[in-house]
Amino acid sequence: MRSRQRAFSAVMRLFLKCLRVGRRRRFRLVRQAQQLWRYGHLCLRSLLYNSFTNSDVLLDSLFEPIYWLVDHVTRWFGVVFVALVITLTSSIVVIVYICLLPLILQTYPLGWICWHLTYGHWNLLMIVFHYSMAITTPPGHPPQAKSNAVAVSICRKCISPKPARTHHCSICNRCVLKMDHHCPWLNNCVGHYNHRYFFSFCLFMTMGCMYCSISGWAMFREAYATIETYYQTPPPTFSFRQRAFHKSIVYLWVLCSSVALALGALTLWHAALITRGETSIERHINKKERQRLQKKGQVFQNPYSHGAWANWKVFLGVDTHSHWITRVLLPSTHLPHGTGLSWELPLCRTEPRAPLLAL
């Protein structure tokens, strides 16, 4: 009886001991989990703490994956777009040489033949030259090393000084001097050093497309009317060569007139910007500033505009009368005025005034 009582009390003691150990271990685990949570929370708050955080930063952070996707897709599509421009332009040139030129040589008077040969080849040369220069010339970037250039702000992405008119391109992932825009058709940014090449390419391509559309109008009407007869019964007997000729003429005219309209509108828009001495980005900044000052009864003045005519001369790099021929009407690799790091302000605007806009 006594031995049974002793065994029972021993079991009870063991059970109580196990219970105490289990509770102690559970408490230790809870304490460790609490410490881990507090540590993680502190780490997260330390990492995310920013006294400049506001709703814009929060929205930017939320949209960051979408920006990343768009930037990468645009970068990849840039190569496809450049290949497309080269392929389509080459196809038009081939059609002109095979279909249009023999007809011009056979049917046109000598004066018209000379005009078509001279103008067509000059226009083609200008398109090829300006496109190749626009895609291969870097737009210009602020220097990486320490320099004396005046910076107006700090780029949040590059964490480096940003000169006036410089903007960060998220596709190139670099700051670009006098950035206009990132052009997927060039797979390059349009900035200080290749802005003229970009505009000249747009202008000469529009002129070339208009030239082909106007020159090929009569042939297009004839070819289109002939194609419509393909489906008559009995069907007309055209050879493969004749059918290919008709379809090539229709393709040439439709493509050239469409590009002439679309690119013509873009060229006019850029011409208006150049006349005002603005870039595409500054257009938006200046518009807001103009509205802000208008509410205060003040008039906005673009600090980088020298006047319409002077703006064109600065943009094209025309210093003498002969430059209109050698630098505008002929292929030229002259550099633009200035380094793109600092800007010469018009004389009448160098006196003390409100802080510079369009930074």
161 neighbors 154 (Cβ within 8 angstroms): yes
Round to whole Å and give the CA distance between 49 and 41.
12
Encoding tokens for residue 204?
Answer: 């000469």
How many chain residues touch Zn ion (CB under 5 A)?
Answer: 10
Q: Closest approach of Cβ 131 to Zn ion, in Å?
A: 17
Residue among 74 and 91 whose Cβ is closer to Zn ion: 74
171 binds Zn ion, rule: CB under 5 A:
yes
Round to whole Å and give the CA distance between 256 and 333.
28
182 binds Zn ion, rule: CB under 5 A:
yes
Ranges within 9-38 binding Zn ion (CB under 5 A): none
85 neighbors 208 (Cβ within 8 angstroms): no
Encoding tokens for residue 147?
Answer: 């320099």
Residue among 168 and 313 whose Cβ is closer to Zn ion: 168
252 binds Zn ion, rule: CB under 5 A:
no
205-219 burial code (b ≥16 CB/10 A, e <16): bbbbbbbbbebbeeb
Residue among 101, 104, 155, 227 that touches Zn ion (CB under 5 A): 155
Residue among 96 and 189 whose Cβ is closer to Zn ion: 189
Stretch that binds Zn ion, among 93-101, 109-117, 177-185, 246-254 (CB under 5 A): 177-185
Encoding tokens for residue 317?
Answer: 């790099």
- Helix (H) / strand (E) element for 130: namely helix 110-136
Residue among 82, 92, 175, 259 that touches Zn ion (CB under 5 A): 175
Q: Which residue, among 82, 90, 89, has the nearest Cα to 135 in the 3D structure?
A: 82
186 binds Zn ion, rule: CB under 5 A:
no
Round to whole Å and give the CA distance between 180 and 196.
11
212 binds Zn ion, rule: CB under 5 A:
no
Residue among 124, 151, 158, 293 that touches Zn ion (CB under 5 A): 158
* 183 labelled catalytic: yes
281 binds Zn ion, rule: CB under 5 A:
no
Q: Closest approach of Cβ 177 to Zn ion, in Å?
A: 11
Stretch that binds Zn ion, among 34-42, 146-154, 189-197, 236-244 (CB under 5 A): 189-197
157 binds Zn ion, rule: CB under 5 A:
yes
Q: Closest approach of Cβ 167 to Zn ion, in Å?
A: 8
Stretch that binds Zn ion, among 161-169, 192-200, 306-314, 349-357 (CB under 5 A): 161-169
Phi and psi of 348, rounded to 5°? Answer: -70, -10
CB atoms within 10 A of CB 256: 24
Residue among 122, 152, 168, 331 that touches Zn ion (CB under 5 A): 168
Round to whole Å and give the CA distance between 34 and 44.
15
Residue among 95, 127, 172, 249 that touches Zn ion (CB under 5 A): 172
183 binds Zn ion, rule: CB under 5 A:
no
169 binds Zn ion, rule: CB under 5 A:
yes
Q: Closest approach of Cβ 299 to Zn ion, in Å?
A: 32
Q: Is the dihedral of CA 97, 100, 101, 106 positive or negative?
A: positive
Q: Quote the Cα angle for 77-79-81, to 5°.
A: 65
Round to whole Å and give the CA distance between 124 and 96.
11
Place of tokens 């319409």: 308
Encoding tokens for residue 357?
Answer: 């806009």
Which of 183, 209, 212, 256 is the catalytic position? Answer: 183
Q: Closest approach of Cβ 66 to Zn ion, in Å?
A: 18
Stretch that binds Zn ion, among 37-45, 182-190, 231-239, 329-337 (CB under 5 A): 182-190
Stretch that binds Zn ion, among 126-134, 176-184, 191-199, 344-352 (CB under 5 A): 176-184
Round to whole Å and give the CA distance between 357 and 322.
35
306 binds Zn ion, rule: CB under 5 A:
no
How far is CA 24 from its chain centroid? 65
Give the interface with Zn ion as residue ranges (CB under 5 A): 155, 157-158, 168-169, 171-172, 175, 182, 189
Q: Which residues are catalytic?
A: 183
